[in-house]
Every structure is written in C-alpha cells, then in structure tokens.
Amino acid sequence: MRTIVIASLLLASALLFGQSAEQHPEWPGKGQLFVGTCYQPVDQSPEQIRQDIALMKQAGFTLVRMGDLSWDAFEPSEGHFEFAWFDQILEQMNSAGIKVILDIGGSPAPIWLHHKYPSVNMVNEQGATVQPAERYMDDISDPAYREHLIRFADELTRHYAHNPALAAIGYNNEIGNGVMSYSEADRQRFIEWLKARYGKIVDLNKAWATQRWSRHLNSFDEVQLPYAEGPSAPERYLDLRRFWSDETISVLEDLETIRERNVPNLPAVSNLWDWAWRRGFDYLSSYKKFVSYGAEGFYPANPIDVSFGALLEKGDLSTPLWFNEFTSGGGGTYGGPKGIIRMWAYLGLIDYGQTFLAWTFNTHRGGEEQALFGLLDHDGTPSWKYSEFKKIATEFSKLQRLGFPRYHKPDVAIAYSFESNIASHPPGPSNTVRQYFTVNYIDQVQSALKPFFEDNIDVAIINIGHSTLDYKLLVVPADYVMDSASADAIRNYVRNGGTVIMTAMSAKVDESNQWFDTPQPGRLSDVFGIRTEEFYRPSTPPEFTLNGKTERASIGFYEVLEPKTAKAMALFTNTLEKSPAITVNDYGKGRAIYLAVPAQMAALAPLVRSLYSALAIEKGPGTSSGVYARVVEGRTLYVNTTGEEKAISIRGSKRGIISGKSYQGVIRLKPYDADLVE
C-alpha cells in the first residue's frame, strides 16, 4: 500500500527498506515500477514452488506478496512457531531477484485460537455464538485475539527483520472486512468507549436523543449494542460503527508499533478494505498513523469506480499507490477479454500506480475461493494471463525511466466522509433517513469525480477535517454529517481565498447524527449565504440555465435555496418556485458555491467547467470518449478503456514509445490498448 521509490540504485535500496511518505515528503516521483503476483506457497509442494518461482523470474516479476491468510502455517499450535519452510522460499525468491512483501496474516485467526479461546468467536445480534465459517469472523476487539496477534506479529517480524528478500510489511489482509460482534464483553467495551466519548450519562442521552420513544438511559449499564441489521436509531448506529472503526484502527496501530520496533527499515504496505460495508473503518482520518504507502486490491467494474477506489486509498499522500492485489480473473470468471488486464494496469499508472501484483499466481483448487482463476491454470500451465502480465512487466521496466510512477499535485480535492457514508444509510427499510437519502452517498462522491476524470484532471480524495486544504477547488458532495472540525476547515479555506462547491444533502446533521436546529447547511449557512429547508422529488428532473445554456439534471430531487447574502448563478426553469439552482457567496477572500441538486455529472460538469479558467485549473489532454490521458515529463500516456478502436486527433507527427508506431495527425488505439506518445 505505499510505494518504494528510487531515483538511483542506491536510493532505491534505501527506500525499498523503509522510509515512509511522512519521512520523505520530498519524494520526486521517479522510481521503479513493480510487477509481480500474490503467492500462496501453502498450496504448493516444494517442487511446484521451485517451478513457480522459475516462471515468475521468466516473466520479469520483481515483487511478490506472501504470508496473508496463513497464520497457522507459521504458528500451527499456540506458541509453536515454524519458519524453516518459509525461510527456504524467501531464499529462492531472493536468488531469483524477486523481493517480497511479508503480510502479517492476523486475519483470519487460526482454528486453534477459536477453539482454545472461544471469546475470539463472533456473537450475532440475537446473542448466539457464530463459528468461524468464513474469513474474518474474528472478534478483533477481544483481548485474547489481540494478545496472540501481537505475539505472532512480534515473532514473525523479529525472525525476518534482516532477511534480504523482504521489501515491505503488510497488516491483516483486507482489515475492515468482517462482521461486528455482540458478546457481553463487546457490550462492556462499547460502554467504556461511550464513557470516554461522552463522559456523563446525561450527555449520552442528549447525543442519542433518548427522550424520543421512551429510550431514556438511567445509567451506562442500560446501554445495549445497537443493531447493525434491522431497526436502529441513527445516532446509536453511527456510534456503533465508530466504535468498530476505532477497534480496527487500534489493531493497525498495534501492528505499526511492532513494525517500528522490529523492522523500522521496511515500509508498511497493507491491503486494507476501509469501505467494506459490513464493518469498514475511518481510513482517511487515521491512515497516516499506520501506512507508509497507499495500497488496495484492484478489481475493476468501470474506470470511474476503480479510479475512485484508488484515489480514496491514496488520500493526500505525495507517494504513489500499490495495487497489492490486481485483477487476473475472478469467481466464475476466467478473465478477459484478452488485453483488458494490461489496459487496467495502464489506467492504474494514471492513478499513480507503482506496484501491480496479480491475484493470484495459481488458480485455486480448494477452499473459499475455488474457481478463482489465476495466472496459471489448475494443472500449472501458464495461461494467456501469465503472458499478459509478462508483457506488462516488460513494458513497465522501460517506463520507469520515463517519469513513472507518476506524481502530480492535484488542483482539485473531493471530500469523502466515512461518517457521512454510514449516517446516510442506517439499517432498516422503514428508517426515515434512508427514505430521505435515496441517492447513494458513494455514488454521489463518484459523480463528483466524474467530470474531472473525463477532463483528464488529477483529483485528491480527502477527509476535510484531516487534510491541508491547499487546493484551487474543493468539492463537497452530499457531506451529510458536518462535524465542527470539517466546518471550521471549510470556513477557513474559503476565508483564505479558496473556492468550494457543496451539493444538496450536505451539512444536515451534527456529530451526534441529529439534524441541526440552525439554518442549513448546518454550521456553514453564513459561509454559503443561504438557508435551505424545503426539498422536493419531482417526477421530471429539474432544469436550470447556466451561462445561457439549459442544463437538465438526471435525478428528481432539488432543494429550495433562500439566498441571504448569496447571489444566484443559475435558476430552475421547470420547478414551481423557480428558485436558485446554484448560488455563490463571497466570504472572506474566497467563494462558496451551493448546488441545489445531488451530485451528478449532468449538473456538476457544466458548473465546474465554468470555473476552470478563473481558477487556473488546466484541463488535461483532449481525448475521445473512454480514452484517458495524462502528460508525464512532456510525453502523453493514452489509455483506451473501451472495446472499440478509438481515434485521437493530434498536431503533426508523434511517435509511440510503447507501440513503436509513428502517428501523423491522429493516434489510433485498438480496443483496450495504450501508448505513451512523444
């Protein structure tokens, strides 16, 4: 999840063994690209392992990730550690010139741990103990789990602290996934968390609005764990998710403490899953405490979706991304069409990618991921996907001398809030918040990204209250929870000369997840110079006129804006009120713009594009639909993400570095093709 950077062989060695983004903010953006795979040697015989490593070397792989999901392979019984088998594999990898990310496989916990310490088992909402029938069914807040995880991590990292094959350390594969537990011990830990947050029962009653529906609490002993499924009051549900988020972050901080003590020369590069719906955690408010480089699993649905996920993991770090897992096939999907994996890798370069590790090398024959297809077929024969990754490795080894992995400080930031995501969609189909917030929060954040993505403009995705707002434009889509830190950050940003766009459904509730009793947008009504209370869902989406052109929204929802000090930039033309669709307010040295409809391409694109010139935001290279591009050290990388040939007009003649082709007046890219043009 974070990147190893090099400007020379000597610097490569130094960064490969340790310095984090915070230690090296001056990172220049030039270094190595790593192509390789995730590997599960526990599935293979010694002879198969030798053959696999030989194939990796032949493919030009430079990095593998191992150790994840394999706690009991290192500690088959309590306190009995076996490392000799892995020592031999690391020695073979090192001899082949392949570096290794060692994942601390703290999830899932071994069956022996569940058996001997049943407090590690999950308890469901009905109070029944749930056996670990699938991955990540471990109560990570349980002291027995934490004690054994820390001991395992300590033994593992001390044993391999000076192993020359290691490049990085990872923590608990996909932490953030899994379910929440409802044991009595968990209830007591939740109570202690509430005491630390609220102090007195009177303050908890106020925060939870317990005067409603006869829910008053006389003492903390009366607190029960809120439901994650079924009915639950929004205030309590948000605190439940905060509690589990803090527990997850605490595990990561424990593991980071061990890394800093035992292997301070190796970066933390973890495959995290902060947006996993069952539990998740507040990554963007905490990530600098336990990561060295941003990383994730890359499983594409469409270009916007995967780019949003990548940028979310990158946050506002100045270092590139590691794709610790990179698509090679899926459950029930062999992979393809041919060429598309390579295309995704080139799109990953646009999204600051540095490391591309196929999930997985061997096709799985058993376990939870049967029929998940890797680079080798079930009989060990290399597939076309192995050849495609080999081609990626060959091409990327040349590109790393040409400004890749890329870095460019974005001019635009988009706000993302774990708490707004959770609070806007509490459980229960009859919940009135769900009835209000019918437009999915994450969909709106992705919609805010889309116009910039289509214009080939770099964007940072940030938590407003935990970032330095040094951007020309800040977009705040549907930020439902407006805590005081975020409100203060927006206020100061605008006062000091920044331009912000906020969309409908924003700033409705405070930290307690209760609606503001002040003019909306809460805490920021004066900054935006408006009041908004009414909202409607017309059967025909609203239309408005901006710069003399009629724009048609795609979502049937709008808020009625009442300007106070703000001026109307655009008016609705087909609503009853003919109220402002967009307002702008001068505040301090900056401007606060409010869009009265949910974040959507149809409404945001004309608005943000009308601001580019005044804000000196430069559009990227012009491309055909479905082709994305960035300029890197004077050359332009084009990626065709579609299944059809695309033509891009250019001036004069150009040469394709990847293809070796000469272009005159037009670049023609075959389906899923890419080229770096100079």
Boundary residue ending a domain (567, 583, 615): 615
Do the domain assignments include residue 221? no
Mean pLDDT, range 467-487, rounded to an integer: 97
DSSP string for residues in 595-633: ESS-S-HHHHHHHHHTTHHHHTPPP-----TTEEEEEET
Tell me, yes or no, whether 631 and 666 share the same domain.
yes
Do the domain assignments include residue 224? no
Crossing angle of helices 84-95 and 46-58, in 10° steps, is 30
Q: Are 194 and 239 in contact (CB under 8 A)?
A: yes
Total of domains in the chain: 3
Model pLDDT, residue 28: 34
Largest CA distance in the chain: 79
pLDDT band at residue 349, thresholds of 50, 70 and 90?
very high
Rounded Cα gap, residues 382 and 369, in angstroms: 19
Tell me, yes or no, whether 23 and 118 share the same domain.
yes
pLDDT band at residue 64, thresholds of 50, 70 and 90?
very high
Q: Which amino acid is at 409?
A: K
Tell me, yes or no, whether 254 and 395 share the same domain.
yes
Tell me, yes or no, whether 552 and 485 share the same domain.
yes
- Find the domain containing 597 and state its range: 412-615
Tell me, yes or no, whether 391 and 478 share the same domain.
no
Tell me, yes or no, whether 298 and 338 share the same domain.
yes
Model pLDDT, residue 329: 86
Tell me, yes or no, whether 463 and 394 share the same domain.
no
Look up the CATH number of the domain holding residue 573.
Answer: 3.40.50.880
pTM, whole model, 2 decimals? 0.94
pLDDT tens per residue, range 284-307: 999 999 999 999 999 999 999 999
- Rounded to 5 degrees, φ, ψ at 395 are -70, -40
Tell me, yes or no, whether 261 and 351 share the same domain.
yes
Do the domain assignments include residue 225? no
Tell me, yes or no, whether 271 and 393 share the same domain.
yes
Rounded Cα gap, residues 295 and 544, in angstroms: 41
pLDDT tens per residue, range 352-383: 999 999 999 999 999 888 889 999 999 999 99
pLDDT tens per residue, range 224-233: 999 998 888 9
Do the domain assignments include residue 205? no
Look up the CATH number of the domain holding residue 109.
Answer: 3.20.20.80
Average pLDDT for the chain: 94
